Chains A and B, each alone.
Chain A
């Protein structure tokens, strides 16, 4: 299986973004997704910058995919997406049907995790439009994935979220601005202060969700490191690791070693603890609630957010 790094979901300063990808050049990552997928007001990195980063990563032997915005409302957002679609060099990951409208039948594209591909007929439809890879929506469990893999069109690659905060919801409302009593239209780019999002806790002081501008994520990291054999058995081609502000190259190394038989999954699980401040989860894989952790060896359920 190949390792990918998904698009950065947080708002980082320009230099931090460049440094982040510089570090990835030497890493064991095969595929890198680039671009702003959350908020069109985040403009620290321009399309020209992204293309420069793409160029550097390509030289370092990485496959680069340009990702598009997920919630598209304004004409300016459509227009930027159009420019990304017509970049002429890199494959594009579509995160809204508007992108598929532009890309379908024109060039190979990746069906992003925010396109609702829940059954084989939908996958077949996108295949007819030249999709080359699909990222499994986070809610789907292994039984559904297995059945979709059995009917997967020839040549279609499958990618799964293997590590990181789960992208759970999008809204017109900006929750980070709301947390600071600021209107969205004058947010003062407050997201820059939260390089890993803003955690939200229940009244029992249990960590629950991460607020990231208009996006809501799981506070627990989805972690499939103990399930990679099962993932492989289903013929999944790519495992996706989501960017976080610290420890990315170490996380990639751990997954790479497990994939190549150089580290036991149990050891990897212990090592990954350092990168999951608010715990881990894998419930979706088993067709259960996403927030729980199910111990693969004993199938013991554990609630990350329990009362």
Chain B
């Protein structure tokens, strides 16, 4: 293991001020937030920040030496365009440390209007290779890319060698099995998707039905899952139900499970990953506190002694308790998963 391994920043989510404070207090290096105006991919009722709250969050973070990133990662259509522009102008006024964007039109606006604003390329931009990342760097001067959760570890290593920008990867949280920014499954079923509305399998489309065969979850009339009496029921994210393919009933797309890269931390550090990101701006303050604290401990332990780093069994157990499906996977980073 290289002794020159760089420190990896821990980027944590916050859906409101208490969660932001919790992330700061538990050791995040940066917090990412979204405005409450439908301009980001966690457009849920009661979530996100007003401009004033964002200012207060920024102040609290700055006082503690922590950075603030603002996620604006939907693809605004004509009727949403002005709101998106207002949000960018506000982000510049608040002086966030970075703006996380997916839409090329918005990046172009930023480059022309706020050339000093640091841009990160959102995972929703689906940049999975050297040339795509270079495109955004050359065209809009993006400084960091958040990689989609589709690359294997060796592919991540290769990308880092070949691109002139920092690389951030997802380290923990719910797992998108599809390439982010290229999935319209949710709008096909509900009319709203991450790209169009900042939501996947939105709550307003969810319906539950108690039947003789057990509890059933629906998304807009499509049966996503059927649970036996003793089975715990999960949120009906449409790619995580059991379906029939050639008479076999199974999780045809993906199991309800979370991504957890703790065991790969030494590899990620050695290959030059700049930051790992925790998914979950929609999650509670308690969740953010606990995940931030554990990942902080893990990153510090790994940084001080990468050669002997083994994830603590307690960390894994605690994170599994918080995880979707109470279990975890390395996802696409581990080739056999693919």
Contact = CB atoms under 8 A, between A and B. Distances in A.
Given A71-B150, A139-B187, A290-B188, A203 B102 contact: no
Interface residues of B, number: 73
B179 interface: yes
Contacts of A102: 131
Interface stretch (B75-83, B282-290, B292-300): B75-83
A218 B253 CA distance: 14
Interface in B94-120: 102-106, 108-109
Contact of A179 (B109, B131, B248): B248
Interface SS, B side: mixed
B79 to A, nearest CB: 8
Nearest to B252: A200
Interface in B287-338: 332, 335-338
Given A198-B245, A200-B244, A289-B190, A139 B196 contact: yes
Interface of B: 75-79, 81, 102-106, 108-109, 125-132, 134-136, 138, 149-152, 155, 158, 177-179, 181-185, 187-191, 193, 195-196, 216, 218, 220-226, 239, 241-246, 248-249, 252-254, 332, 335-338
B243 A289 contact: no
A284 B81 CA distance: 20
A118 to B, nearest CB: 4
Nearest to B124: A116
Given A70-B182, A122-B103, A206 B335 contact: no
A138 B179 contact: no
A138 B191 CA distance: 12
Contacts of A284: 187-188
Interface in A84-122: 96-102, 104, 114, 116, 118-122
Interface of A: 70-75, 77-78, 96-102, 104, 114, 116, 118-122, 124-126, 137-140, 143-144, 147-148, 166, 168-175, 178-179, 183-185, 198-206, 208-209, 211, 216, 218, 283-284, 287-291, 303, 305-307
B121 to A, nearest CB: 10
B338 A172 contact: yes
B221 A178 contact: no
A101 B185 contact: no
Given A169-B178, A289-B220, A101 B134 contact: yes
B113 to A, nearest CB: 12
Contacts of B182: 70-71, 114, 116, 169-170
A289 B191 contact: yes
A296 to B, nearest CB: 18
A52 to B, nearest CB: 27
B41 to A, nearest CB: 13
Chain A CB within 10 A, most for which of B76, B191, B225 = B191
A211 B251 CA distance: 13
23 contacts: A97-B132, A98-B131, A119-B77, A121-B106, A121-B108, A125-B104, A138-B184, A144-B79, A168-B183, A169-B185, A171-B177, A172-B152, A184-B338, A200-B245, A201-B245, A202-B243, A203-B225, A205-B244, A208-B243, A209-B243, A288-B191, A289-B191, A303-B221
